[in-house]
Structure 1
Amino acid sequence: MFFRIMVAGFCALLMLPSLKVSADSELIDMDKVVSVADLHADLYALVEGYYSLHPAPHHNLDAIELNNTVKKIKSQLTKPMTVKEAWRLFSLINPVLHDGHAGIAIPRRKSLIEKELSQGKRVFPLHVYLDLNNRLFLRKDFHGSSFLPSGIEILSINGKTSKEIIKEMLLRRSGDNVEQQRELISRWFSEEYWSNFDAAPNYEIEYLENDIRHTVNIQGSDTLMDKKLSQRSFDSLYSYKLLNDSTGYIRVETMNKKFFKEFLAMTETAFEYFKKQNVSDLVIDISDNGGGGNSMWQKGIMPYIAHTPYRYSSAYKARVTKEIASADDVIGMRVSGDIEMTEPDLTNPLKFKGNVYILVGSMTYSSAIHFAIAVQDHGIGSIIGTPTAGRSGTTGLVTDIKLKATGLDAYAPVVLYSRPSNKNNMLSVQPDIFIPFDAIHSYDLDKMFANKAICLLAND
């Protein structure tokens, strides 16, 4: 039955769209010109694909707003345009969908930018962040040695005001809500700038310091801010250590299943070490974890910390696709059901018996949220940190929508989950212990955030 497939495998493919990559090895030609007829065909495929895949397409969006946005896009399809121009137009649908697992993206964006960098182009070279009023502030440059002081407000870039720039980015950025849009734009601002405004050799920046306006011209960067996930080592994503004599710490930066075997080996070693050291408090840091597969935390962490039955969701709604259909399922049908409890292994000799704290942040998403709410709703541990930007009731199993003419990445989820308690599904995950952090003083938010949590718990 379909329900068995849901329980066994659906969560394994949850992911943040910014980590989504095209299956094709060739890079898309962003300068290819697409005919008006083909543009209309791709737009139809995008909208139809969303409705045919999502199990509850209107659960978090306004149908009228979506229809009006599609009409606006259609009205501008009056002449051939490049693929990049098409993305800038089609992506107006992204924020209207209100779902970090649905939308349209530039496939293999990092690789495309790297190709341009190899040809002499340069990208915006500073780490920045948006505040709640969508004002733009500086953290530091890519190499951590900016001559500009951290915390200054950036007023304009290359003659365009920051207000105009952020408005353009928000008009095209996917996300569950505007809070998540802000976080994703802040995290990948350089790439977002390239997507919306292209690269430039130099960047004239007007900024405000001590209420005085200044202008500086800085050279763009010939490297990307963040490495591709595929280029990062296991040790750069996962680690464990003692914070003090009684507090252990595990950092889990992604639930990507490509690291499954290594992760299971590391957590077994970590819990063996913590037992020998008589650790009484444990911090599991997923504050910068955008998701991946539920099997990572179900197999790699829960066997050591779960003392009661748990589940990552109370119920699901799903759309049957040929990839996950059973023999008696009808493709396209909507199904729903409950998620069964997972029984803890109480015989595990490395079972941790102390206090468990799950550190979350604004970037915690997808299967990382599933982990957090499983722990919180079943009393396995406490959630610390700041609220997640993404919703507690997540979607999952991101599925491709084929856009033949442009080759752009369109995608939608085929499953919608309720959190285990079935309460506050539309809200973010709220911490039991709130730990604020100052975004100005470090671009490496996860490490700074973790250090504050460490200090708080170590001195408790």
Structure 2
Amino acid sequence: MLRLLHMVVRTVLAALACTNVAWAAERFTAEQVRADLEALAAGIAATHPDISHSVDPVRFARALEALRQTSRDGLDRDAVWRALATLNPLLADGHLFVGYADWRGDTVRHLAAGGTLFPFEVAVDADGRVRIVAELGGARSVHAGAYLQSINGQPARDVTQTLLARVHGDSPTFRADLLSRRWWLYHWKVHGAPDAFEFVLEGSPRNPVRRPGSSARPATMTGEEDFDRQFAFELLPDGAAVMTVQTFSWHDPASFFAFTRRAFRQMKTARTRLLVVDVRRNGGGDDALWLHGLLPYIADRPYRWASRYTKRVLKDDPARQEKAGQVLSGDIDTWTSPLADDSLRFTGKVVVLVGAGTYSSAVLFANTVQDFRFGTLAGEGASARSSQTGGVQKIDLPHTGLVVWSPRFILERPSGPGASAWLVPDIRIADDPLDSNAAVRALLSREADRAVGR
């Protein structure tokens, strides 16, 4: 029976892979591409409340016109994406971009069909240099730490620039971080998926490294449904603790609430004095997770999670006297008081560790902690705007099967317009892509030195 089940699964995966290949191989006319471009423009115009939040509307209009003029016949889906995705850096918002409807599913089907991917996990520096971090999937690599000088005969920095030219996100730092985690995807979609690679490492020009493409599942797609890989808590010596929260998007919020309550109970028993909440890789999700799972334990005064909103109304709402198409703005006057009778409130020092990957709801959490002084922000900053878009909508492009993601509202941080436009930590702690624990160690060492007055 088990053998039969495996055969069925393989058959289904093969069928899906064939479907995916057929879809990707379909060719489109210039008229179809222009129609999708018009759908892109119309979809954003009907959804986004104020595109000038992240891009000059005139520059955006010019970029759209340039794409209309250069549309041509015979492009497959990836080629159309390569053209339209040049809008992504210009749009400069992690919630506003041209992409694939299901890039994870596309990857699974590509691998199931025998396809391969770039064989390394990498880190892209702000200056465009590419460093090997691990084997694709996260296994240790003998080349970890080495910088790539060339990839299949092309200068590595040139390859980086062709990929960054299609990555979405608020800032160059954000886009370099996103590219680091999805290099294999962008390289596949822009440069194809060759069976073999030749690399020249910096400092070793006469000893090229030859590697076949990898069939491993990329690290960013591993453990996404594993609670223990997304959330972790550890009590440390000297009254410290670290809580790692990789996402605020979880299918079972009750399990997260139970996790945080258990952690704060342990800290009370252990008389913990310092809590580090690590959200460096947290790309956001549901605000309810941090509003109900974290803030009640650390808030000591009334707070609000934003000061002002601007939103696009997508559906008529007679009860609120709102009509589809309207753009509305207003102050957020809803304040939440801390739970006066919660015996588990943490009274020690809270440090929220942020990074280039902190985004969306995780930025709102960091804003609230910083603006109301519930804790200190540490880490790397100026990657994401402190005012965040949200309510992301999927806009299907009718011919190519590509999609546009667009937000429908903008939230201003709790302290209002006088604060920094970017999420900027109070303490600068560098991240190390080769050692995810280095920033935590550096922060704990700094706090220990402060405690003894060094």
Give the structure-2-normalised TM-score: 0.89
- Which residue identity does 2:303 align to in structure 1? Y
What secondary structure sits across from 2:392 in the alignment?
strand
Counterpart in the other structure of 1:223: 216
Residue 59 of structure 1 deviates from its aligned partner by 2.2
**Residue range with higher mean Cα deviation, 288-297 or 112-121:** 112-121
Counterpart in the other structure of 1:434: 428
What secondary structure sits across from 2:251 in the alignment?
helix
Mapped to 1, the partners of 2:207 and 2:388 lie a distance apart of 44
- Which residue identity does 1:318 align to in structure 2? K
2:113 to 109, 119, 123: 119
Mapped to 2, the partners of 1:227 and 1:178 lie a distance apart of 20
Change beyond 3 A, Cα 1:229–1:343:
farther
Counterpart in the other structure of 1:194: 188
Contact 2:197–2:211 (Cα < 8 Å) also in 1: yes
Contact 1:183–1:363 (Cα < 8 Å) also in 2: yes
Mapped pair 1:36 → 2:30: yes
Specify the structure having the higher radius of gyration (Cα).
Answer: 2
Residue 141 of structure 1 deviates from its aligned partner by 2.0
Identity of aligned residues (%): 29
1:278 to 271, 285, 290: 271
Counterpart in the other structure of 1:243: 236
What secondary structure sits across from 1:58 in the alignment?
helix
Mapped to 2, the partners of 1:358 and 1:27 lie a distance apart of 42
Residue 60 of structure 1 deviates from its aligned partner by 2.2
What secondary structure sits across from 1:37 in the alignment?
helix
Mapped to 1, the partners of 2:317 and 2:163 lie a distance apart of 35
Contact 1:304–1:351 (Cα < 8 Å) also in 2: yes
Give unpaired runs (5+ residues) of structure 1. Answer: 1-25
**Residue range with higher mean Cα deviation, 31-40 or 405-414:** 31-40
Residue 229 of structure 1 deviates from its aligned partner by 6.9
1:145 to 140, 144, 154: 140
- Which residue identity does 1:167 align to in structure 2? Q
Counterpart in the other structure of 2:394: 400
Residue 346 of structure 1 deviates from its aligned partner by 1.6
What secondary structure sits across from 1:349 in the alignment?
coil
Could you list the per-position Cα deviations for residues 119-177 of structure 1 after superposition, in whole angstroms to 9, with x for gaps in the alignment?
222111112222221122222323433232x3322121112221221111121111112
Mapped to 2, the partners of 1:227 and 1:324 lie a distance apart of 39
Mapped to 1, the partners of 2:111 and 2:317 lie a distance apart of 40
Contact 1:241–1:249 (Cα < 8 Å) also in 2: yes
Change beyond 3 A, Cα 1:325–1:107:
farther
Counterpart in the other structure of 1:110: 104
Change beyond 3 A, Cα 1:229–1:264:
farther
What secondary structure sits across from 1:283 in the alignment?
strand
What secondary structure sits across from 1:187 in the alignment?
helix
Could you list the per-position Cα deviations for residues 389-418 of structure 1 after superposition, in whole angstroms to 9, with x for gaps in the alignment?
111111111011121111112111010111
Residue 257 of structure 1 deviates from its aligned partner by 3.7
- Which residue identity does 2:202 align to in structure 1? L
Residue 78 of structure 1 deviates from its aligned partner by 2.3
Change beyond 3 A, Cα 1:271–1:325:
farther
Contact 1:388–1:428 (Cα < 8 Å) also in 2: yes
Mapped to 1, the partners of 2:24 and 2:337 lie a distance apart of 50
Change beyond 3 A, Cα 1:37–1:419:
same
- Which residue identity does 2:129 align to in structure 1? R
Counterpart in the other structure of 2:156: 162
Residue 81 of structure 1 deviates from its aligned partner by 1.8
Mapped to 2, the partners of 1:27 and 1:144 lie a distance apart of 28
Mapped to 1, the partners of 2:54 and 2:220 lie a distance apart of 33
Counterpart in the other structure of 1:77: 71
Contact 1:316–1:416 (Cα < 8 Å) also in 2: yes
Mapped to 1, the partners of 2:165 and 2:317 lie a distance apart of 34
Counterpart in the other structure of 2:168: 174
Mapped to 2, the partners of 1:320 and 1:230 lie a distance apart of 36
What secondary structure sits across from 2:253 in the alignment?
helix
Mapped to 2, the partners of 1:424 and 1:194 lie a distance apart of 43
Give unpaired runs (5+ residues) of structure 2. Answer: 1-18
Mapped to 2, the partners of 1:336 and 1:105 lie a distance apart of 29
Contact 1:310–1:341 (Cα < 8 Å) also in 2: yes
**Residue range with higher mean Cα deviation, 338-347 or 417-426:** 417-426
What count of residue pairs does the alignment treat as equivalent?
429
Contact 1:314–1:418 (Cα < 8 Å) also in 2: yes
Mapped pair 1:328 → 2:292: no
Counterpart in the other structure of 2:443: 453
Counterpart in the other structure of 1:372: 366
Residue 86 of structure 1 deviates from its aligned partner by 1.0
- Which residue identity does 1:449 align to in structure 2? A
Mapped pair 1:296 → 2:296: no
Aligned CA-pair RMSD: 2.1
Mapped pair 1:264 → 2:257: yes
Mapped pair 1:95 → 2:85: no
Counterpart in the other structure of 2:248: 255
- Which residue identity does 2:229 align to in structure 1? S
- Which residue identity does 1:356 align to in structure 2? V
Residue 323 of structure 1 deviates from its aligned partner by 8.4
1:346 to 340, 344, 360: 340
- Which residue identity does 1:275 align to in structure 2? K
What secondary structure sits across from 2:252 in the alignment?
helix
Contact 2:173–2:383 (Cα < 8 Å) also in 1: yes
What secondary structure sits across from 1:34 in the alignment?
coil
Residue 27 of structure 1 deviates from its aligned partner by 5.5
Residue 114 of structure 1 deviates from its aligned partner by 2.1
- Which residue identity does 1:314 align to in structure 2? S
Residue 224 of structure 1 deviates from its aligned partner by 2.4
